[in-house]
Amino acid sequence: MRYSKYFIHTLYEVPREAETPSHINLLRGCYIHPVAAGLYSLLPLGHRVAEKIKTIIRQELDAIDGMEVTMPVLNPAELWKKTRRYFDIGQELFRIKDRKDRELVLAMTHEEVITDIARAFLRSYRDLPVMLYQIQTKIRDEARPRAGLLRVREFFMKDAYSFHPSFEDLDEYYPRIFNAYLRIFARAGLKTVPIEADSGIMGGTGSHEFMLESPHGEDRFVVCSRCGYSANTEKAVGLKPMKEESLEDPAPLERAPTPGVKTIADLMAFFGIPEDRLLKTVAYTADDELVLACIRGDFAVSETKLANHLKAIRLEMASEDALAARGLCGGFLSPVGLEKTRVVLDTSVHEGALYVAGGNEADVHLRNVRPGRDFLAPERVDIAEVRHGDACAACESGVLEIKRGIELGHTFKLGIKYTSPESMDVSFLDGAGAQQRVIMGCYGIGVERLMAAAVEQWHDDSGMIFPATIAPFQVILTSLGQKEAVLGMAEGIYQELMGRCEVLFDDRDESPGVKLKDADLLGIPIRVVVSQKLTKNDQLEIKVRQTGEVIVCQRGELGGLLPKLLDDLMPSLEGLPYMAE
C-alpha cells in the first residue's frame, strides 16, 4: 500500500481532550476519530488492527470447538424481562420503543438471545456440549465515557456462550476457554494477569478477569508477593490481624457525649484509641431494605461483597430520610439497641474486644461496646476491602499488593442463572429420558479495548509501538529524497516486499524529518529507509521500532534479514499460567 494513496492524516499536536497514552496516540496516528462522547469511528489503520485482533480471537475459539454466529443488537424487551435484567440493570441499558410502541433494548450482552436459541435447538444430551460465539456491536449508555477506546458507549465485543449437560462438564470445559484467553492476549502482545473476579450482574458460580497492569486502569486487583494469589479487590480476601483480648471482667458499656466529634480522626483523638478500636457502622438500602454494615474502623466496607451476601440487585447508601424514618441519626450509627434492623458484621470485629461505636443519637458515642454482649449479629461474614500490605489468606505468609489494571476479558460460570424455570427455562432429555437443566458459561473480550491496551503497554515518546501480530502493517518503507537512484531502489524493494509481508510504502514528496516522524508515530514494527547516502553503497537502513535497534545492510541481504527480525518480534506462548485441563 502506498502512503500517498492511503487514508492517513497524522497530528503532531496532542489533542486537548486526550489524556491516556492510547487515546493520545490513536488520535495522533489517525487510527480513530471521535464522533461524540464515547463514540469513535475506526479509520482504515484502526480497522486493520481491529480485524487482526478478531482473526486471532476466531482462530483460538475455533480451535476449542467454538462456532461463530451473529445475533441482532436490537432485542425484544420480553426476553430481557424473562431474566429480569430489564429491571435490574440501571441506566446503562438503552430501552427504546418502535413505531408500534413495542419495547426493545439495545443489547449490551446477548445472554437472553443466545439462551433463546439454546431453548429452541438443544433438546437432547446428544446436542451437548456446544459453544457458540460472535463478534458483534454492543451498546452501553456509559455515564462517564473516557480514555478513548477504554470506556465507550458502542464497541465490538467477542461474546461466547457454552452449554453443558452438567456442572462437571462445564468445569471440564472451563480450562479450555481460560487457556484460549491466555493465548489470545499473548498473541496480541499483551502481558495479562488472570485474577479471581466477582460475577456482578452476570451472575453465576465463578469467574475470572484478565488484567493488564496499567497506571491508567480503572480496575484494582491484588497479587500476593509469595504464592501468586490474585483477585479483583471486589473479590479478594486477606488476613485480618487480631489483637489478643482478655475475656474476663470486660468494662461495662458507657454513654459518652461527643459534640462536634464525627470523623475517625476526631474519635481517635477524643477517646485516645487506635483506629482498630472503632466500630464503624454504614447504612445501606439493599433493594428497599435498610441494612447496617458494621466493620472495624481500620477497614472499609466492600459494597460488592456486601451486595453479594445480601443477594441485592441494587445497593446504595441509605438516605437521611430512610434513617430518620427508623429513628436513626447518620454519623452516629451503631447496632446497639437495634432489634428490627438487619445487621451484617464483618469478620474483622472480634467478639472479645471492646469498641467505641455510635450512640444512635446526635453527638453521642458508646464506649466499651462488646459484640455478643451489647448487640447480636448472626450475619458475620467478610465484607471488607483488602488493603495494600495485608497478609495473604491463601498462603498466610505473603503480602498483598494492590495494582491498577485494564480489564481485557472476563469469563463466567453462569450455571443455571439463565436456564432455570424462573428465567428462560431451558432443559434437555438425558440418556435415561429425564428432563435436566442446561448449564451455561459465558466469556467476553472487548476488541477495541485490546487495541487500546496494546498501545497502553507499547508506546514511547515518539508514538505507538504495535506488536507485529496486530500492527496494521508489518513494515513501513521510507524513501528519503527524490533522487532517481533513491526512488528506483525504493520502488524495487516495495515490489519485492509486497509478496512477502504487509508493507506501507511512504512515497510522499515530504522532508526526511516529516517522514521519519510519521513512521514512528504510526507504530509500525519495522522501518526500512532508503536514502541518497546509503544507495551509493547499495545499502539500506532497518530500524526495529520496539527495541530501537538500527541495522545497516546490503540491499541483497534484506530478503533474508527481514523474516528473521519479524519472527523475533512474534510474542511467545511459553510460560503462560495455563489452567490444568
For the chain, which domains are there? 15-72+106-218+402-457 (3.30.930.10), 254-380 (3.90.960.10), 473-569 (3.40.50.800)
Cβ(520)–Cβ(502) below 8 Å: no
All cell numbers assigned to 196: 479471581
Cβ(566)–Cβ(526) below 8 Å: yes
Running DSSP on this structure, what letter comes out for residue 251? P
Cβ(135)–Cβ(158) below 8 Å: yes
Q: Provide Rg for the chain, Cα atoms.
A: 29
Q: How confident is the model at residue 202 (pLDDT cuts 50, 70, 90)?
A: very low
**pLDDT more than 70, % of the chain:** 98
Would you state the pLDDT for residue 574? 92
Nearest to 440 by CA among 93, 75, 110: 110
Question: With 90 as the cut, is the pLDDT of residue 334 above it?
Answer: yes
**Helix 447-457 vs helix 21-28: crossing angle, to nearest 10:** 100
Cβ(216)–Cβ(147) below 8 Å: yes
What is the arithmetic mean of pLDDT over 162-179?
Answer: 96
Question: With 80 as the cut, is the pLDDT of residue 96 above it?
Answer: yes
Cα separation, 453 vs 50, whole angstroms: 12
DSSP assignment of 325-358, as one string? HTT--TTS--STT-SSSEEEEETTS-TT--EEEE
| Summary mean pLDDT of the chain | 94
Scan for cell 499460567, then name that residue.
Answer: 577
Would you state the pLDDT for residue 255? 95
What is the arithmetic mean of pLDDT over 419-448?
Answer: 97
Q: How confident is the model at residue 204 (pLDDT cuts 50, 70, 90)?
A: low
Nearest to 208 by CA among 391, 424, 445, 485: 445
> Considering the entire predicted model, what is its pTM?
0.90
Catalogue the long-range contacts made by 62-67 (C-beta closer than 8 Å, 24 or more residues apart).
63/180, 64/131, 64/176, 64/177, 64/180, 65/131, 66/131, 66/132, 66/133, 66/160, 67/130, 67/131, 67/132, 67/133
Give 220's strand partners: 404
**Helix 558-569 vs helix 484-498: crossing angle, to nearest 10:** 60
Would you state the pLDDT for residue 32? 98
What is the arithmetic mean of pLDDT over 210-221?
Answer: 93
Cα separation, 331 vs 360, whole angstroms: 9
Running DSSP on this structure, what letter comes out for residue 16? T
What is the arithmetic mean of pLDDT over 170-182?
Answer: 97
| pLDDT one-digit tens code per residue, 225-261 | 999 899 988 889 999 987 666 556 788 999 999 998 8
Would you state the pLDDT for residue 390? 93
Cα separation, 268 vs 274, whole angstroms: 6
Running DSSP on this structure, what letter comes out for residue 384? B
Least confident span in 33-37, 312-316, 553-557? 312-316
**pLDDT more than 90, % of the chain:** 87
Would you state the pLDDT for residue 523? 97
DSSP assignment of 486-545, as one string? HHHHHHHHHHHHHTTS-EEEE-----HHHHHHHHHHHT-SEEEEE-HHHHTTTEEEEEET
Q: How confident is the model at residue 414 (pLDDT cuts 50, 70, 90)?
A: very high
What is the arithmetic mean of pLDDT over 80-97?
Answer: 95
CA atoms within 13 A of residue 450's CA, in its CB half-sphere: 35
Would you state the pLDDT for residue 478? 97
| pLDDT one-digit tens code per residue, 21-59 | 999 999 999 999 999 999 999 999 999 999 999 999 999
Would you state the pLDDT for residue 245? 63
Least confident span in 199-213, 226-240, 493-507, 556-570? 199-213
Scored b (16 or more CB within 10 A) or e, 263-281 reads eeeebbeebebeebbbbbb
Question: With 70 as the cut, is the pLDDT of residue 434 above it?
Answer: yes
List, edge to edge, every strand of the sheet that includes 475-479.
Answer: 503-506, 475-479, 526-530, 539-544, 550-554
Cα separation, 120 vs 127, whole angstroms: 12
Question: With 70 as the cut, is the pLDDT of residue 199 above it?
Answer: no
What is the arithmetic mean of pLDDT over 438-452?
Answer: 97
Q: Name, in order, each residue with C-beta under 8 angstroms of 204's C-beta and a sequence gap of 6 or more.
A: 412, 413, 414, 415, 417, 441, 442
Would you state the pLDDT for residue 247? 58
Least confident span in 26-30, 191-195, 245-249, 545-549? 245-249
